[in-house]
Amino acid sequence: MNKENWLKRGYVDEPVAQGLDLKAEIRKLCKEKHAVILGHYYQSDEIQEIADFIGDSLALAQWAAKTDAEIIVMCGVHFMGETAKILCPDKKVLIPDLNAGCSLADSCPAEAFAQFVKDHPGYTVISYVNTSAAVKAVTDVVVTSTNAKQIVESFPADEKIIFGPDRNLGSYINSITGRNMLLWNGACHVHEKFSVEKIIELKKQYPEAAVLVHPECKGTVAKLADKIGSTAGLLKFAMASELKDFIVATESGILYEMRKKCPEKNFIPVPPEDGASACNECNYMRMNTLEKLYLTLKHEWPEVKVDEEVAKKAIRPIRNMLEISEKLGL
Ligand code: 13P
Ligand code: SF4
């Protein structure tokens, strides 16, 4: 065991015996250690296959809040692990690779955001879940793309609101609610890459297709959408639709569950503007691999840690989100 090397890398760097049945070993370790694997829709197919539960960011937080497992392995990105840890301070929360960050969360440094909040007294602060625990600590309510509209609308129409960090989701919510929230200028590098041109090209090939767009995409892309929604929202739309073809503008991991739930339908991922044939994958989400997942469970490392003082402040806006979502039946 070379822990120094692991620390340097941010994941367990240990050779795995050739021919080892990783999936069987992972299931065995989960049982022995009373661990649960939560996976986001943007994980690789093989991780989604082995996870106990897969879902969008809201569902992952809801699941973490109610699990009685002793160990939670978050197959997602770091802020998802932090949210689980804040909700379950007494549990061990593991993540297969500590480097699995998020460009959107990084576009909102905690100190600068806290200053922005200070500069606008009298504003209610609504933050997207894709933020660090320190940003959540200066937030009133956390939202995800599944519940953002309803949570914003739960405030009086004249409420002065700061919304961070995603400018695309924020402008979209402003446009559908008629609000004028003050927006933080952040964005996700994966969703910003979707272009109008690529969608129009695909639309020529599949004229009957519905265009499914995540609200983290730019407004020009969202204008082409038949449905704008969170990963869970897009999946639900595809399942209920009579149509056969769907052009999907979000991270391509969601196609695994779409194809599983609707094997008779055709899901076409929109390629990024700078790569002719590649799919849009989140390099952070894809840092988690089956091998790293196995090693994480084996060594119970790396663990997601949140500063206790920060966690004490960040739990309130997360709980506020869960309570409002429950009331709204989300
Ligand atoms: P949802 O799963 O809530 O749609 O969020 C997408 C995302 O970018 C997660 O990082
Ligand atoms: Fe963050 Fe974007 Fe990756 Fe989601 S897809 S985890 S918002 S970088």
Which ligand has its closest atom nearest to the C-alpha of 234? 1
Q: Is the pLDDT of residue 278 over 80?
A: no
pLDDT tens string 290-327: 999 999 999 999 999 999 999 999 999 999 999 999 99
Residue 273: pLDDT band (50, 70, 90) is: confident
73, containing H or E segment: strand 71-75
- What was the pLDDT predicted at 284? 97
Which ligand has its closest atom nearest to the C-alpha of 56? 1
247, containing H or E segment: strand 245-249
Tell me if 104 CB under 6 Å of ligand 2: yes
User: Residues 6 or more apart from 166 whose CB is under 8 A from it?
Assistant: 104, 128, 130, 184, 186, 187, 188, 215, 216
Residue 274: pLDDT band (50, 70, 90) is: low
Q: What is the position in ligand 1's atom list of the atom closest to the CA of 76?
A: 10
Query: Average pLDDT for residues 238-261, to the nearest whole number?
Result: 98
Tell me if 190 CB under 6 Å of ligand 2: yes
Query: Average pLDDT for residues 75-99, to the nearest whole number?
Result: 98
On average, the pLDDT of the chain sits at 96
- What was the pLDDT predicted at 3? 87
Tell me if 282 CB under 6 Å of ligand 2: yes
Q: Is the pLDDT of residue 1 over 90?
A: no
Which ligand has its closest atom nearest to the C-alpha of 214? 1
- What was the pLDDT predicted at 277? 53
Tell me if 102 CB under 6 Å of ligand 2: yes
Query: Average pLDDT for residues 171-177, to the nearest whole number?
Result: 98
Q: What is the position in ligand 2's atom list of the atom closest to the CA of 282?
A: 3
